[in-house]
Structure 1
Amino acid sequence: MILDMKEYVQYLDGVHKRTMHYVKALPNELLEWKPSEDKFSTGDLLRHIASSRLMFLGIFEHGSWTYAGHDTGKGASIEDISKYLEACQLKLTEGLLQVGNDTLTKKIKTMHGHEVSAWRILMAIPEHEIHHRGQISAYLQMNKIEPPQIFGLKIEQVET
């Protein structure tokens, strides 16, 4: 259970920073690449992560789930997408700090309409981002680009 919003926001910032390492590893040429026609492109995934941050914030601020989309108007280049990701992260963290600790014990409606403790929705934010970061890692590897190591070392480099 999450007990302190400030501590949670610090954790979320760490997740965001690790995601940004993946953004820096992406060449612009890979932004529209996707493994098949019915899948998100690399750029779509990044814009989706950013827009989803605002969607999650909306449930805490307004009590509604609203998704702004992931179209190229939210960034057509790595630079523009990076700015969008940063802006959405800032808005999310500032908004969560404003709703404060009292929110943590409240009940919030899920997308499916049933109520859960707010801290459970907060747990979904990094889980969602990490899921899509894993997809980006796979996309990089499918294009023969070594993804960044999120903690700086490959498992083979860890001393035992």
Structure 2
Amino acid sequence: MIHDIKEYVKYLDGVHKRTMQYLKTIPIELLDWKPSEDKFSTGDLLRHIASSRLMFLGIIEHGYWTYTGHDTSKGATIEDISGYLEECQFKLTEGLLKAGNDVLAKKVLTLHGHEVSAWRILMAIPEHEIHHRGQISTYLQINKIEPPQIFGLKIENVKATL
């Protein structure tokens, strides 16, 4: 359970910063790339992460789910997408800090209509982002681009112990 919204926001900011590291490795020609026609493109995934931050904030602040989409109007270039991600992260952070610790026990509905404590929804935010960041990592690797190491090392750099 989350007990302190300020500590949670600090953690969420770290997740966000690691996602932003991925933007630096994505070439412009990969923004529209997708593994198949029925899947999100790399740009779609990034815009979806950003828009979802506002979706999660909506249930916390207003008690209902809304999703504004992930089309190119949210950003067609790396720079625009980066700005949208930063804007949505700022709004999410600002909204959570304004809500304060009292929001953690507030009852809200899941997308399936089940009532849960808001802290459970907050736990879904980083899980959702990390899931999609993993997809972006796969997209990069399929296209022979090395994704960033989120903590600066590959497993091969860790000394083996017996």
TM-score over 0.5 (shorter chain): yes
Q: Which runs of 5+ in 2 are unaligned?
A: none
Paired position in structure 2 for 1:63:
63
1:159 shift after superposition: 2.4
Percent identical residues: 82
Paired position in structure 1 for 2:74:
74
Paired position in structure 1 for 2:25:
25
SS of the residue aligned with 1:125? helix
Structure 1 CA distance for aligned equivalents of residues 138 and 10 of structure 2? 27
SS of the residue aligned with 1:48? helix
Q: Deviations over 1:14-52 (max 9, x none)?
A: 000000011111011100000000000000000000000
SS of the residue aligned with 2:108? strand
Structure 2 CA distance for aligned equivalents of residues 33 and 112 of structure 1? 31
Paired position in structure 2 for 1:117:
117
Q: TM-score, normalised by structure 1?
A: 0.99
SS of the residue aligned with 2:24? helix
- Residue 144 (1) aligns with residue 130 (2): no
Structure 2 CA distance for aligned equivalents of residues 24 and 83 of structure 1? 13
Structure 1 CA distance for aligned equivalents of residues 69 and 63 of structure 2? 19
Report the RMSD for the aligned CA atoms in angstroms.
0.6
Q: TM-score, normalised by structure 2?
A: 0.98
Paired position in structure 2 for 1:7:
7
Structure 1 CA distance for aligned equivalents of residues 23 and 111 of structure 2? 28
Q: Deviations over 1:87-130 (max 9, x none)?
A: 00000001000011001012111011110111100000000000
Structure 1 CA distance for aligned equivalents of residues 118 and 37 of structure 2? 36
Instruction: After the TM superposition, list the runs of 4 or more consecutive aligned residues in structure 1 that deviate by more than 6 angstroms.
Output: none
Paired position in structure 2 for 1:85:
85
Number of aligned residue pairs: give it.
160
Q: Which runs of 5+ in 1 are unaligned?
A: none
